[in-house]
């Protein structure tokens, strides 16, 4: 006779379904990493540093005790991190000093964009409303030391402090 039919139905997911489920999983994982970035970032940094310095430690272990090799590698790693942090601080300080020198060049670009918009038929009232009235009237103000990029307590204040460090201790 014939076999009885089963009551279960097997459903195979389509390619689109798999794509959506995978995209949702990626969104959830990225959101989780973003929510825990204060934990994930230091862990990733430490894993990267271990991968970089492990060959050095293995080479030192052949010639000295394990604890001595670990201490040397630890001191080397801390010095590497500090030197990178100092290099970034000095670079930001130099950038803070250079930004005002580019103000006239940036203002020229703004004027060129304004002329281009005018040639395309965009009126000055439309471009003013899109860019903001204050920027049109005082474009020098954006990149000056009193401008939005350098207000007290903002980015410019911190970069200025880094610049002072560089001036006090040139390398």
Could you please report the per-residue DSSP string of 71-89?
HHHHHHHHHHHHHHHHHHH
Q: Where do runs of H (alpha helix) occur along the chain?
A: 15-35, 37-61, 66-98, 103-119, 124-131, 133-137, 140-143, 155-168
Residuewise pLDDT in 10s, the chain (171 residues) = 566 666 777 888 899 999 999 999 999 999 999 999 999 999 998 999 999 999 999 999 999 999 999 999 999 999 989 999 999 999 999 998 888 888 888 888 888 887 888 888 877 777 666 665 555 445 555 555 555 555 555 444 555 555 455 455 444
| DSSP classification of residue 99 | G
Choose among 152, 141, 160, 157: nearest CA to 94. 160
> What length is written for the chain?
171
b/e code 94-119 from CB counts within 10 Å (16+ = b): eebeebbeebeeeeeeeeeebeebee
> Backbone dihedral region of 102: left (phi > 0), alpha (psi from -120 to 50 degrees) or beta?
alpha
- Check: CB of residue 142 under 8 Å from CB of residue 106: yes
Domain spans, the chain: 16-63, 74-171
């Amino acid at each position: 006779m014939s076999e009885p039919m089963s009551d279960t139905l097997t459903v195979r997911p389509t390619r689109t379904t798999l794509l959506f489920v995978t995209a949702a999983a990626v969104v959830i994982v990225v959101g989780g990493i973003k929510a825990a970035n204060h934990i994930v970032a230091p862990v990733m940094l430490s894993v990267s540093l271990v991968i970089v310095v492990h060959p050095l430690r293995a080479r030192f272990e052949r010639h000295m005790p394990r604890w001595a090799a670990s201490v040397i590698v630890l001191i080397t790693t801390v010095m590497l991190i500090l030197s990178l942090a100092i290099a970034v601080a000095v670079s930001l300080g130099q950038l803070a000093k250079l930004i005002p020198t580019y103000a006239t060049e940036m203002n020229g670009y703004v004027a060129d964009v304004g002329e281009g918009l005018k040639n395309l038929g965009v009126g000055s009232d439309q471009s003013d409303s899109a860019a903001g009235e204050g920027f049109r009237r005082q474009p020098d103000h954006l990149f000056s030391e009193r401008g939005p990029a350098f207000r007290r307590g903002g980015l410019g204040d911190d970069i200025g402090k880094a610049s002072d460090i560089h001036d006090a201790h040139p390398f």
